[in-house]
């Protein structure tokens, strides 16, 4: 099973968050760095993949509504793709 550990403290803006997600989730260079692209790549995962997210509140504090939408996109993709498990840790 692939695993990725995300730290909400590292997600301080849209640009920084998408660069961080690209690196931590192993996305290809063509990743569009937006919520649609995030959804698309998560939907194409074909092997078990666990995403652990620490410091969720910090991401929400720094990015506000966009942070909520970003985390919701990850959650919704996991709901649609049975190979993805998301765990919030703190």
Work out the mean pLDDT of the chain and round it to a whole number: 97
C-alpha–C-alpha distance, residues 16 and 4, integer Å: 17
Q: How many domains would you assign to the chain?
A: 1
Coil, strand, or helix at residue 25?
A: helix
CATH assignment at residue 38: 3.30.370.10
Look up the domain containing 12 and give its range: 2-89
What value does the mean pLDDT take over residues 33-44?
A: 98
User: What is the pLDDT confidence band of residue 76, given thresholds at 50, 70 and 90?
Assistant: very high
Q: Which pLDDT belongs to residue 90?
A: 76
């Amino acid at each position: 099973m692939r695993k990725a550990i995300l730290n909400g403290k590292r997600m301080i803006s849209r640009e920084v968050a998408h660069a961080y997600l690209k690196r931590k989730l192993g996305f290809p260079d063509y990743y569009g760095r937006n919520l649609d692209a995030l959804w698309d790549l998560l939907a194409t995962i074909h092997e078990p993949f666990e995403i652990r997210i620490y410091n969720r509140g910090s991401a929400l504090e720094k990015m506000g509504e966009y942070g909520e939408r970003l985390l919701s996109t990850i959650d919704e993709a996991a709901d649609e793709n049975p190979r993805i498990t998301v765990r919030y840790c703190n």
